């Protein structure tokens, strides 16, 4: 009779994502994963596969947790322009220092693993596209609501916003000060 799993897979993925997020893929040995998740080696490998398979699952899980929240925020906002503004301000205001230092798991993975890992690249590209699409929807609503007066095509403006949001996240990881972050956000939002 097969043994039942006595652990929460979502909790394991959360812990593994946080570990990879902070340490990176290469610098995270399997033993750290076992220590952080509390799983035995056999439970980890039977459920999630090897380290690379686990990493791919954590990226997808992160996308479902972090990116889905961002998209929901943009899609459900009554004032689309204000939602975009709040998203950029929220990238550096009130975010705990430890999280700023971790950056973004997707962006960290770009710097560490691309172009050598096409599976990671595919997940990151899907993630970026989902964020861009959410910005396009918000920009269209913002234009209809009168809050966005920029005449650029919504897709081009959305690409610009994603680029700047991801760039800001990288700068925060580097430790730029609040004034620098505020200046980046102010100039970025001035195009709306």
Q: For residue 85, what are the domain limits? A: 9-189
73-96 CB burial, b ≥16 within 10 A, e <16: bbeebeebbebbbebbeebbeeee
pLDDT reported for residue 177: 86
C-alpha dist (Å) from residue 97 to 11, 91, 102, 174: 23, 11, 9, 11
pLDDT at 5: 61
Quick check: is 1 in a domain? no
Number of domains in the chain: 1
Tell me: pLDDT of 2 over 60.
no
Instruction: Look up the pTM and report it.
Output: 0.90
User: Can you tell me which residue has the tokens 């550096």?
Assistant: 92
Query: Does 16 fall in a domain?
Result: yes
Task: Answer yes or no: is 3 within a domain.
Answer: no
pLDDT at 1 over 60: no
The CATH number of residue 103's host domain is 1.10.357.10
Asked if residues 161 and 84 have their Cβ atoms less than 8 Å apart, the reply is: yes
Average pLDDT, the chain: 92
CA 65 to chain centre: 9
Tens of pLDDT, residue by residue over 149-166, are: 999 999 999 999 999 999
What's the confidence (pLDDT) of residue 99? 58
pLDDT digits (tens, 9 = 90+) for 169-183: 999 888 888 899 999
């Amino acid at each position: 009779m097969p043994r039942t799993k006595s652990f929460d897979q979502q909790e394991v993925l959360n812990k593994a994502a946080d570990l990879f997020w902070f340490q990176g893929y290469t610098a995270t040995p399997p033993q750290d994963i076992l220590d952080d998740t509390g799983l035995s080696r056999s439970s980890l490998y039977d459920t999630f596969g090897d380290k690379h398979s686990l990493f791919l699952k954590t990226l997808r899980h992160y996308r479902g947790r972090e990116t889905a929240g961002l998209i929901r925020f943009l899609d459900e906002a009554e004032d689309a322009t204000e939602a975009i503004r709040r998203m950029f301000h929220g990238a550096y205001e009130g975010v705990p220092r430890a999280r700023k230092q971790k950056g973004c798991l997707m962006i960290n993975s770009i710097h560490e693993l691309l172009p050598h890992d096409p599976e990671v690249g595919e997940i990151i590209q899907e993630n970026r596209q989902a964020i861009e699409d959410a910005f396009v929807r918000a920009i269209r609503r913002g234009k209809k609501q009168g809050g966005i007066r920029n005449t650029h095509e919504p897709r081009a403006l959305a690409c610009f916003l994603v680029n700047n949001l991801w760039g800001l996240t990288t700068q925060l990881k580097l430790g730029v000060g609040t004034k620098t972050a505020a200046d980046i956000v102010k100039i970025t939002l001035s195009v709306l």
